[in-house]
Amino acid sequence: MEKISFVVPAYNEQDNILALYEKIANLMDSLQEYDWELIFINDGSRDDTLLRIKEAVQKDKRVRYLNFSRNFGHQAALTAGLDHADGDAVVTLDCDLQDPPELIKEMIDKWKMNFDIVYARRKHSHEGFLKKITSKYYYKVLRKVSNVRMPINVGDFRLIDKKVLQQLTEMREKARYLRGMVAWTGFPYTYVDFVRPLRASGATGYSWQKMLKLAMDGLINFSTVPLKIGFVMGIISIILGTLMLTYMVGDILLHNAEYPLYKFLVVILFMFMGFQFILMWLLGEYIGRIYEESKDRPLYIVKEKGNFDKNQQDSVITHQH
């Protein structure tokens, strides 16, 4: 019997835990040809999320949980769940019910058609205009500058085969962008389209600051184009500076104009000042990533785990770094 693992990060989702469990349990109980497990990752929640998870664990032995020592972030929580999953296929989804479990049956059917990755693609969502427009153009830019073909209008709601899971657990970079990492593996993929509903309850844990960090992780981790910006800006600066100096020299030779030395210096310094700041910022970003990787800290710390068998616990020891 094939097994489906569900990986669900949770941050302050006390009102959605049991509702999501019920939906997944009802769905999978109707698909009797599959075994399944549901792994909740409590990412340092400040409400009763952990208590609600433990209630689900008491109801159903197929529910398991990881409890972080603090908030490590959505990507770290997903990574922890993937490290502990042992299904033939793994479905990752958010806890807010905006990733409808009703879609999972169709995703499994696509997986059985020999697609190793099945993305849930959003045809429409109820997000604000600013978030929609920035997300749309960010992914267009990322797709153009990256050497990996990034899927558009998808989040972290996806199904992956155990072959993909094995590759992901071998990738231990600290600045994680799982959407890009899954695409990077290059396995056959397809889509299931859906209209994203409103959040069932609670507030999103993804602030603009967190979204900006995730966007930077995607851009820098999967593209070297930012390194070329300095080169392009340098060429533009040299050309503009040369044109300006040519004009000034020509004005002097043809019209006997007088330009004091400081004007020449101001023109040159002004043109190169912006280029220097951009280059310094890019160098700082890349050096910062090297610094983070060199520290070799664990991606997450599990304070408590529940309902995992010994084989699963032993198998993830080598993956936590």
| DSSP symbols for 18-39 | HHHHHHHHHHHHH-TTEEEEEE
pLDDT tens for each residue of 294-313:
767 688 889 999 888 765 55
Q: Which residue has the tokens 């080169």?
A: 231
Domain boundaries, the chain: 2-205+297-319, 225-295
Q: What is the DSSP letter of 320?
A: -
Q: Which CATH architecture describes the domain 2-205+297-319? A: Alpha-Beta Complex (3.90)
Q: How far apart are CA 23 and CA 32, in angstroms?
A: 15
198 vs 219: CA distance, rounded Å: 28
Task: Tell me what pLDDT residue 207 has.
Answer: 62
Higher pLDDT, 312 or 262: 262
Q: For position 317, what pLDDT does the model report?
A: 45
Q: Among the listed ranges 17-21, 50-54, 135-139, 187-191, which one has the minimum average pLDDT value? A: 135-139
Tally of CB atoms within 10 A around 73: 21
Is the pLDDT at 249 greater than 90? The verdict is no
User: What would the mean pLDDT of 171-188 be, rounded to a whole number?
Assistant: 89
- With 0-12 / 13-18 / 19 or more C-beta atoms within 10 angstroms meaning exposed / middle / buried, residue 150 is buried
Look up tokens 């952990």; give the residue. 50
pTM metric for this prediction: 0.74
Lowest-pLDDT range of 40-54, 84-98, 196-210: 196-210
Structure confidence at residue 174 (pLDDT)? 81
- Please return the burial class of 78, using the count of CB atoms within 10 Å of its CB with bins 0-12, 13-18 and 19+: buried
Region 139-143 average pLDDT: 72
With cut-offs at 50, 70 and 90, classify the pLDDT of residue 262.
confident
Q: What is the mean pLDDT of the chain?
A: 85
Instruction: Report the percent of the chain where pLDDT is more than 90.
Output: 48
Q: What is the DSSP string of 73-113?
A: -HHHHHHHHHHH--SSEEEE--SSS-S-GGGHHHHHHHHHT
φ, ψ for residue 175 (rounded to 5)? -80, 90
Residue 269, amino acid: L
190 and 82 in contact (C-beta within 8 Å)?
Answer: no
Average pLDDT over residues 95-108: 94
Predicted local distance difference test score (pLDDT) of residue 163: 97
- Predicted confidence at residue 238, as pLDDT, reads 77
Highest mean pLDDT among 61-65, 219-223, 270-274: 61-65
Say which DSSP state 319 is in.
G
Q: What pLDDT does 243 receive?
A: 85
pLDDT digits (tens, 9 = 90+) for 4-26: 999 999 999 999 999 999 999 99
Query: Residue 318 has what pLDDT?
Result: 45
Alpha carbon of residue 202 to chain centroid: 21
